[in-house]
Amino acid sequence: MKHYILSAFLLLAFTSCHKELSFDIETFEKESAIPCKKDCPKIIIAVPVAKNIPVVADSINKKVFTVIKEIVYFEEDPSKANDYKSLAASFISSFEEMHKKFPSETFGWEAKIKGTVEFESDQIINIKIDHYTFTGGAHGYQGFRSLLFDPKTGKTISTNAIFKNEKEFKAFAEKEFRAKYKIPATSNINATGLMFENDKFQLPQNIFYTNQGLLLYYNSYEAASYADGAKEILFPYATISKYLKYQ
C-alpha cells in the first residue's frame, strides 16, 4: 500500500513538473444600460490567459492586463479596475459620466480588444493585442501592440533586447524600408510625406514574431498620418537570423 502511495505521488510530481504553459481565450463584455436605438456603447475584451505554470503565467497575465488597462481605462482612480470585469465596467461608467454632461453627443462609444498568441517557441512568446476604441470625434483609433515574453520566466523582453546589434539591424531595416516605400537613399526619410520624428528612421514601437518572419509594424501617427495608415515591413527569418537573439 505504501509502495502504491509513493508511486502515485511520484507520478503526480512528475506530471506537474512537465506541465506546459498554455493559453485559454477568455471574453468579457459590458454594455451600457442607458436606452439607445443604435450605436449602443459596448466593450468586448477577448484575451489569452496563461495557465499551468503559476509564476510564469502570473507574470504574463499581469503584463497583458496592464497594457489593456492603458488602452481602455479613463477613470482617475486606477485601483477601481483590478480585473477584466471591473475594467469593462469602468469603461461603461466613463461613458455614462460623460453622457450626463453631453447627452446628445456621446453615443457610439466602443472598445474592442482581441489578444492572440501570435508566436510561441522555446525562446520567446509574442502576444498581439489588436485594439479599437471610439470615444467621440471624427474617428476611432485602431492599432496593434506587441508583447514579448520569456517562456521560462514570464518576464517581458524589450524590443531592443531581441537584437544582437540593434544599430546594425536598424541600418539594414532602413535600406529595406526605403526600397519598399520608394524613398530615395539620398533623401530624408520623410521626403515622400512620412512623419518620422526628427526626420530620422526609427524602428517601430511594436515588432512582431510571426510564422512568416519578423514584422516591423508602425501604427497610425507613428510614421505616417491617420489618412496614410499604418506602415509595415516583413523580414523572413532566413534573411535576418544573424541579427536576432531569439527565434
Average pLDDT over the chain, rounded to an integer: 90
Number of H helices, E strands in the chain: 5, 8
Taking the C-alpha atoms of residue 22 and residue 37, their distance in angstroms, rounded to an integer, is 41
Q: Do 99 and 35 contact (CB within 8 A), yes or no?
A: no
Quick one: 15 exposed, middle or buried, by C-beta within 10 A (0-12, 13-18, 19+)?
A: exposed
- What is the per-residue pLDDT for 19? 77
Name the grid cell of 16: 506537474
Query: Where does the pLDDT of residue 11 fall: very low under 50, low under 70, confident under 90, or very high at 90 and above?
Result: very low
* 96 Cα distance to chain centroid: 27
pLDDT category, 14, cuts 50, 70, 90? very low
What is the reported pTM?
Answer: 0.88
Model confidence at 18, pLDDT cuts 50, 70, 90, reads low
Confidence bin at 101 (pLDDT 50/70/90) = confident
143, HSE (Cβ side, Cα atoms, 13 Å)? 21
- Which grid coordinates are listed for 87? 475594467
Amino acid sitting at position 101: K
pLDDT tens figures, 22-31: 999 999 999 9
